[in-house]
Amino acid sequence: MGLLKEKDREKVKKVFEEIEKDVKIVMFTQETECQQCEMTRKLLEEISGLSDKLSLEVHDFVSEAGLAKNYGVDKIPAIVLIGERDYGLHFYGLPSGFEINVLIGDIIDVGKRNPELSKEVTAELAKVDRPVHIQVLVSPT
Amino acid sequence: MASDHITADMVEGSEFPFLVVKYNVSGVPHSVINEKHSIVGAQSDLEFASAILKAIGK
Amino acid sequence: MHMGGKTMDFPEFSLDSSFLENAKRLEPDGRYDLLIVGGGPAAMSAAVYAARKMMNVAIITKDFGGQVRETSEIANWLGFQSINAKDLVDMFEEHVKSFDIPLSLGTAITEVKREKDTFKVLTDDGKIYSSQTLILATGKRHSPLNVPGEKELVGKGVAYCATCDAPFFKGKKVVVAGGGNSAFTTAMDLLKVEAQVSLINFIKGWQADAALQEKVKEINKVKFLDYHRVVRIEGKERVMGVVVKDRETEKEERLDTDGVFVEIGLLPNSESFKNLVKLSEQGEVIVDCSCRTNVEGLFGAGDVTTVPHKQIVIAAGEGAKAALSAYNYIINKSLI
């Protein structure tokens, strides 16, 4: 039995039909996995299997520290979504509860290569000319 | 995705309590821009964009 | 699940369809027979009826459920002695989605105009949609207290509708914020279920109808605190207490309580069309019993209108009427 319920897997498979381009899901864990890392990895394995446009790469945070640094990953479990480039989009921790929807939604946005922001917001963001690091702390509900 | 300068992390507070303490989080969602500017609660896309600009002094 | 150490509970994943699914997009070009603005029971019921009449209908809404989402258990929706509010909304949504109606979800309307015999709806993502008829079913929003703890504890002790939720506070301690008719009516509803009620009013005195005030005062069980401000609502999983401030003495006091009913008023979501259709003094869309407004082809349904009682089953009925009226309007027009 997977982590997702059968009917949820079906739902996700259906919405993944909107994905147009390849999405690479990169995950960082470590050899002696803590529960969160193991769960996250299993979840990603399940999710990436629901669309042939998704691929999953699992890396070790400790032995591949250089790679982790390149992706800007500083804690685990970490999920990075890559489209035609690294957007700097990271998920830290197991996205359970409602958060799973954010991960799925972001995978779709990356897969459509379109974050679906309004013209106004896009215009505002174009004014950003230096590094901005946003961290959104959430808790699984 | 909309800007090359922006990196964004979604962080499960329950798994990284040190961040919850560091940023004095008492309600979620709690967003922090450049480790300094906090925004509590859900925001519209536009409000968030404005907060980002404000945080970088624009 | 054991992992050589702590046992972890199986994680729960709450997949949310309306968050994920991008239902058929609305077409900005072309003219719909009917556009429904809103996503509560009135709007959803209207959608079902319009779809079954094979009308070219589309829905524009921020989300589904409306005020129903603010409550937890519903005991007066016909057929169910008790049903969880979210389950009811999910059922409504499933029904509406079974018709594959084009949907603009997550959008709010900014303006509604009429150009000749076509309605134009402008949305906050910069799009314009056209239709021959329109149903306004945008409902109302509660004037919130806007204090810490309020948003987090909605449905966990913070409530906005006594008709719906009073029974769940049987024998419990409740604070009612407000000083007018809805606050006093709420107090009455709560006293009926033997709750211990405290009334907190921001301004001095009490503004409810004298007769209603008398009725409540006669029961002699309510604590009256006028000229007090609610400072914050406390509690994590459930409401545990409320801190109020005496505006005269500036002293703060913490009251133990199991619930806070916010009855400081409801605001009709009619701002975006106030220049188009006739509104009552309270800002509600004036409708007749066929849900017609003063504008031809424009109909209203549910809490945003002047319908005398605001309840889910009533809103659903109004939505059905409005859709049928819109349908009849189109049929009659095409016969001219």
Q: Give the pLDDT score at B26.
A: 66
Q: Give the pLDDT score at C19.
A: 64
User: Does A39 sit within 8 Å of C11, measured CB to CB?
Assistant: yes
What does DSSP say about strands C228-234 and C223-226: parallel, antiparallel, or unpaired? unpaired
- Which pTM value belongs to this model? 0.57
Contacts of C124 in chain A (CB under 8 A): 118
Query: How many domains are contained in chain A?
Result: 1
Q: Does B1 touch chain A (CB under 8 A)?
A: yes
Q: Does B14 touch chain A (CB under 8 A)?
A: yes
Summary mean pLDDT of chain C: 88
Instruction: For residue C187, give the H/E element and its range.
Output: helix C181-192
Place of tokens 């489209």: A83
Question: How many whole angstroms separate alpha carbon A25 and alpha carbon A82?
Answer: 6
Which regions of chain C are under pLDDT 50? Answer: 1-8, 23
Where residue A114 sits, what CATH number does that domain have? Answer: 3.40.30.10
Q: Give the pLDDT score at C164.
A: 67
What are the φ/ψ torsions at residue C123 (nearest 5 degrees)? Answer: -110, 165
Residue of B nearest to A82 (CA): B1
Question: How many whole angstroms separate alpha carbon B6 and alpha carbon A129?
Answer: 9
Chain B nearest CA to A68, separation (Å) = 14
Chain C nearest CA to A65, separation (Å) = 25
What does DSSP say about strands C259-262 and C158-159: parallel, antiparallel, or unpaired? parallel
A to B CB pairs, distance under 8 Å: 146
Cis-peptide, bond into residue A77, ω within 30° of zero: yes
Q: Using CA of residue A15, residue A17, residue A20, residue A22, what is the dihedral sign?
A: positive
Structure tokens that stand for C31 in this block: 């003219």
Position A1 in a domain: no
Contacts of A94 in chain C (CB under 8 A): 11
Q: A57-75 in b/e burial notation, b at 16+ Cβ within 10 A? A: eebebeeeeeebeebebeb
Query: Which chains reach chain C with 3 or more Cβ–Cβ distances below 8 angstroms?
Result: A
For the segment C144-169, what is each residue's pLDDT rounded down to a tens digit? 899 999 988 887 889 887 876 787 78
Confirm if C224 and C240 have CB atoms less than 8 A apart. no
Structure tokens that stand for A57 in this block: 């790469």
A to C CB pairs, distance under 8 Å: 58
The string of DSSP letters for A45-64 reads: HHHHTT-TTEEEEEEETTTT
Structure tokens that stand for C309 in this block: 């009682």
Q: Does A1 touch chain B (CB under 8 A)?
A: no
pLDDT surpassing 70 at residue A128: yes
Q: Which of B5, B10, B25 to mutate to test the interface with A (most CBs of A within 10 A)?
A: B10
User: Does C20 sit within 8 Å of A100, measured CB to CB?
Assistant: no
Q: Give the pLDDT score at C5.
A: 36
Q: Give the pLDDT score at B1.
A: 81
Domain that residue A69 falls in: 6-125
DSSP category for residue C155 = T
Contacts of C237 in chain A (CB under 8 A): none
Position A108 in a domain: yes
For the segment A33-52, what is each residue's pLDDT rounded down to a tens digit? 888 888 899 999 999 999 99
Q: Does A102 touch chain B (CB under 8 A)?
A: yes
Instruction: For residue C320, give the H/E element and its range.
Output: helix C312-335
Question: How many whole angstroms separate alpha carbon C325 and alpha carbon C313?
Answer: 18
Position A19 in a domain: yes
Q: Does C126 touch chain A (CB under 8 A)?
A: yes
Q: Does A125 touch chain B (CB under 8 A)?
A: yes
Closest of C102, C109, C89 to residue C45, by C-alpha: C89
> How many other CB atoms are there within 10 angstroms of residue A113's CB atom?
13
Question: How many whole angstroms separate alpha carbon C257 and alpha carbon C230?
Answer: 13
Q: Give the pLDDT score at A141.
A: 44
pLDDT surpassing 60 at residue A140: no
Percent of chain A with pLDDT over 70: 98
ipTM (interface predicted TM) = 0.90
Q: Which of A17-31, A88-102, C37-51 has the highest mean pLDDT?
A: C37-51
Q: Does C8 touch chain A (CB under 8 A)?
A: yes
C116 CB contacts (<8 Å, ≥6 apart)?
none
The string of DSSP letters for C263-281 reads: -S-EEES-GGGTTTS-B-T
Confirm if B30 and B12 have CB atoms less than 8 A apart. no
